[in-house]
Amino acid sequence: MESTMKDLRGGATVLDMDPKSTVGGGVEDVYGEDCATEDQLVTPWTVSVASGYSLLRDPRHNKGLAFTEKERDAHYLRGLLPPVVATQQLQEKKLMHSIRKYQLPIQKYMAMMELEERNERLFYKLLIDNVEELLPIVYTPTVGEACQKYGSIFKRPQGLYISLKEKGKILDVLKNWPERSIQVIVVTDGERILGLGDLGCQGMGIPVGKLALYTALGGVRPSACLPITIDVGTNNEKLLKDEFYIGLRQRRATGQEYAELLHEFMTAVKQNYGEKVLIQFEDFANHNAFELLAKYGTTHLVFNDDIQGTASVVLAGVIAALKLLGGSLADHTFLFLGAGEAGTGIAELIALEMSKRSNAPVEETRKKIWLVDSKGLIVSSRKDSLQHFKQPWAHEHEPVNNLLDAVKAIKPTVLIGSSGVGRTFTKEVVEAMASLNEKPLILALSNPTSQSECTAEEAYTWTKGKAIFASGSPFDPVEYEGKVYVSGQANNAYIFPGFGLGLVISGAIRVHDDMLLAASEALAGQVSEENYANGLTYPPFSNIRKISAHIAANVAAKAYELGLATRLPRPENLVKYAESCMYSPVYRSYR
Ligand code: NAD
C-alpha cells in the first residue's frame, strides 16, 4: 500500500509541472509523455487511494466506527478512531435516535445533509430504511424551507452552479465536476421552487433532494447523479436586497439571453456526457418548462417531473381506481380545476392512455376531458386568447365561469384539483360530485397541505363516505360513521426514480410518451387486493424499491420495443436486471 501511495504521489509531481516547460520541443520529454499533446493544455487529474485521515474525510468511502480491526490496520486508521467497532445497524440506530430528538424539521434536514457529507452510505441506509419518515425531511416540504435559508445553512457547496458569468465556458464548468460517468442530471433555474416562487440560486436544494431520491428510491449510484442550478438572476426582491444572497444580484435574464445560455448548457451536456445522460428539468416556471421540453425532447433525453412525472403518477392512480369505480377509462369524464403544468400534463396523458385502450384518435379522447382555469371553463370561444398548452382543451361549450356550474354542466365522474389554490373544492362542489356519482373519484393535488383543494376529511364527510380520494400532500386516516378511510398520496416520488432507472438500464436515448404510460401501468399493477379493500389507489410507499424496479423494467421494455434502447442485448428478465443494477448502501469490505 505504502509503495502504491508513493508511486501515485510521484505521478502527481510529474503532472503538477508547469506544462509550458515542454512547449516548443526545446525540453526533452523525460517523463515519456506523448509528444503530440505537448502543445495542448491538459487537465491535471490524479488517481489516488484514500487511506488514513483522508479516508475518514472521504464521504464516499468513510465508514466511521464501522471500520473493522483488519481495515484499521490495512488503511492506517489505528488511533484515528476510538477502539469500538460498530455495525452499520448500530450506527443507523444511533443516528435515527439523534435525528428524532430534533424538534424542527429543518434541524433534521441539516443533520441529514451533514451525514451525507460525512458518510454517504450511512446517509442512504437511513433514507432507504426509514423512507416514509425521512422523505418529508430530505424532500418536500422541508426542502422548501432549506432553499429559503440556503445561503445561511450551507457550509460546503453542493452540486454545480452555472450562471450567466459562465456563458461561453459551460463545457469547462462541466469538466470541473469530479465525476466523469454521469447518468442523471437534475437541473433547475430556481424560478418556481415548489409553491414558494422564485428562489434564484438557492433553488439548489431541489436538484440535490431529487437526486438523493433517485439513489434511495430508484437505486441510481450517487456518483452518477449531478445536481445543477442555472443562475440567470432572480426577480425575488427580498433576495436581491439580502447581503448574504449567494446568487447573481440581477433581475432574471429572459428571451434570447436566457435561451442562449440554456442552449449552450444542453449542448455542453451532450458533448460531455453523450446521448444517454438523462436531463430532468425541475421547478422551472411553466412557460419555460413547456418550451424546454418541446425544444429538446427530440434531440436529448429529457424529462420534466412537474409535467410528465405528475401526469404518470396521477394516471396510475386513475387506472388503479377503475377497479373500484368500474367501467373502462373511456367511460369516464374528467374535470380539472387548474390548467397549468400539472393539469394539462395529466390531461394529455389520460387522453393518450384512453386513445391506446379504446383505439380512438387522441383528438377524440381529449373531448372526455375538461379543464377550468382562473377564467372559468376552457371552451372554444376562448381559444384565441389561450396559451398554446391550453388550446387542445378548448371544446365546444357555452362559457361557464365557475367550478360548481362546470360540475353541473359537464357531470364529471372524476374531479382533479391542480390549481395551487386551497379550499376550492367547496362543500357544494363535492356534494354535487356525490349526487352525480355512486363513487366520485376526487383528487386534490395541490401542495402544500394548506393549498389542497379539499381535505380528506371534507371529501369523505361531504360525500358521506362515497368518495375515492387521493391528494398531493398526505392526510391522516379519517374516521367517518365508525369506518376508517385511508387516502392515497399522488406523490411523484412513486414514479421518477423508477422511470429514470428504466432509462439508465436500457441506455435509452429519448423519452417517449409510451414510456410514461408504461410507468403508470407498472405502478397501478403494484396496488394489491388488500390495498383496494382499504380504498387505496396507490401501493404503500414502504415497498418503493420493489415498485421502482417494476416501473424501471416496464419503462426499459418499452424503450427496447421502440428501438430507443442502446444497451444490448436486451436482458431477458428486466425486473431482475433492474434489481441487480440498484445501488446498495451496505458498506463494502476494503482489502
Ligand atoms: P401552474 O402555475 O403551472 O398552474 C396552475 C393553474 O391553475 C393555472 O392554469 C392557473 O390559471 C390555474 N388557477 C390558478 N388559480 C385558480 C383558481 N382560483 N381557479 C381555477 N384555476 C386557477 O402550476 P402547476 O405546476 O400546474 O401546479 C399546480 C399545483 O399542483 C401546485 O399546487 C402543485 O403543488 C400541485 N402539484 C401536485 C403534484 C402532485 O400531487 N404529485 C405534482 C405537481 C404539482
Is 560 contained in some domain?
A: no
CA distance 587 to 570: 30
- Above pLDDT 70, what percent of the chain? 93
CB within 8 A of 387, min separation 6: which ones? 287
Q: What domain range includes position 23?
A: 12-86
Q: How sure is the predictor about 448, in pLDDT bands with cuts at 50, 70 and 90?
A: confident
Digit-coded pLDDT (tens) for 431-442: 999 999 999 999
Sheet holding 468-471, edge to edge: 376-377, 369-373, 334-337, 414-417, 441-444, 468-471, 488-489
Residue 18 has pLDDT above 50, yes or no: no
Q: Which of 382, 418, 495 to mutate to test the pocket of ligand 1 (most atoms within 8 A of CB)?
A: 418
Residue 533 has pLDDT above 70, yes or no: yes
Is 542 contained in some domain?
A: no
Q: How sure is the predictor about 369, in pLDDT bands with cuts at 50, 70 and 90?
A: very high
Average pLDDT in the chain: 92
What is the model's pLDDT at position 333? 98
Taking CA atoms, 264 is separated from 200, 203, 257, 276, 468, in Å, by 20, 21, 11, 18, 47
Phi-psi region of 259 (alpha: psi -120 to 50; beta: other; left: phi over 0): alpha
Is 401 contained in some domain?
A: yes
Q: Is the CB of 472 within 6 Å of ligand 1? A: yes
Q: How sure is the predictor about 473, in pLDDT bands with cuts at 50, 70 and 90?
A: confident
Q: How sure is the predictor about 65, in pLDDT bands with cuts at 50, 70 and 90?
A: very high
- Above pLDDT 90, what percent of the chain? 85
Q: How sure is the predictor about 40, in pLDDT bands with cuts at 50, 70 and 90?
A: low
Is 565 contained in some domain?
A: no
pTM: 0.90
Same-domain pairing of 234 and 322: no
What is the model's pLDDT at position 157? 82
Is 536 contained in some domain?
A: no
Across-strand partners of 416?
336, 443
What is the model's pLDDT at position 469? 97
206-223 average pLDDT score? 97
Q: How many CB atoms lie within 10 A of CB 322?
A: 16
Question: 249-253, 354-358, 429-433, 450-454: which range is least confident on average?
Answer: 450-454
Q: How sure is the predictor about 39, in pLDDT bands with cuts at 50, 70 and 90?
A: low
Q: Which of 371, 419, 443 to mutate to test the pocket of ligand 1 (most atoms within 8 A of CB)?
A: 419
Residue nearest to atom 35 of ligand 1 (CA): 446
Residue nearest to atom 1 of ligand 1 (CA): 340
Same-domain pairing of 138 and 272: yes
Same-domain pairing of 284 and 425: no
Taking CA atoms, 473 is separated from 141, 449, 461, in Å, by 9, 5, 19
Q: How sure is the predictor about 248, in pLDDT bands with cuts at 50, 70 and 90?
A: very high
Residue 94 has pLDDT above 70, yes or no: yes
Residue nearest to atom 19 of ligand 1 (CA): 374
Ligand 1 center from residue 442 Cα (angstroms): 16
Same-domain pairing of 148 and 245: yes
Domain boundary among 23, 52, 86: 86
Is 385 contained in some domain?
A: yes
Burial class (CB in 10 A: 0-12, 13-18, 19+), 83: exposed
What is the model's pLDDT at position 7? 34
Q: Is the CB of 140 within 6 Å of ligand 1? A: no
Same-domain pairing of 483 and 336: yes
Same-domain pairing of 384 and 371: yes
Is 511 contained in some domain?
A: no
Query: What secondary structure does DSSP assign to 45-70, as a single string?
Result: -------HHHHHT-TTT--GGG--HH
Q: How sure is the predictor about 254, in pLDDT bands with cuts at 50, 70 and 90?
A: very high
Please report, for the domain that includes residue 214, its CATH number: 3.40.50.10380
Domain boundary among 490, 516, 534: 490
Q: Which residue has the higher pLDDT, 141 or 383?
A: 383
Ligand 1 center from residue 170 Cα (angstroms): 33
Q: Cell for 445?
A: 393535488
CA distance 467 to 456: 10
CB within 8 A of 96, min separation 6: which ones? 126, 130
Residue 3 has pLDDT above 50, yes or no: no
Is 518 contained in some domain?
A: no
9-35 average pLDDT score? 36
Quick check: helix, strand or coil at residue 552?
helix
Domain boundary among 490, 507, 529: 490
Same-domain pairing of 397 and 449: yes
Same-domain pairing of 153 and 202: yes
Same-domain pairing of 79 and 95: no
Same-domain pairing of 288 and 399: no
In terms of DSSP bridges, do strands 369-373 and 334-337 run parallel, antiparallel, or are they unpaired? Answer: parallel
Same-domain pairing of 62 and 101: no
Quick check: helix, strand or coil at residue 583?
coil
Q: How sure is the predictor about 155, in pLDDT bands with cuts at 50, 70 and 90?
A: confident
Question: 7-21, 101-115, 259-273, 408-422: which range is least confident on average?
Answer: 7-21
What are the catalytic residues?
139, 210
Please report, for the domain that includes residue 451, its CATH number: 3.40.50.720
What is the model's pLDDT at position 483? 94
Number of domains present in the structure of the chain:
3
145-151 average pLDDT score? 88
What is the model's pLDDT at position 23? 34
Q: Is the CB of 335 within 6 Å of ligand 1? A: no
544-565 average pLDDT score? 98
323-350 average pLDDT score? 96
36-58 average pLDDT score? 76
Residue 1 has pLDDT above 80, yes or no: no
Ligand 1 center from residue 231 Cα (angstroms): 24
Same-domain pairing of 76 and 95: no
What is the model's pLDDT at position 45? 72
Identify whether the C-beta of residue 475 lies closer than 8 Å to the C-beta of residue 455.
yes
Q: How sure is the predictor about 127, in pLDDT bands with cuts at 50, 70 and 90?
A: very high
Residue 11 has pLDDT above 50, yes or no: no
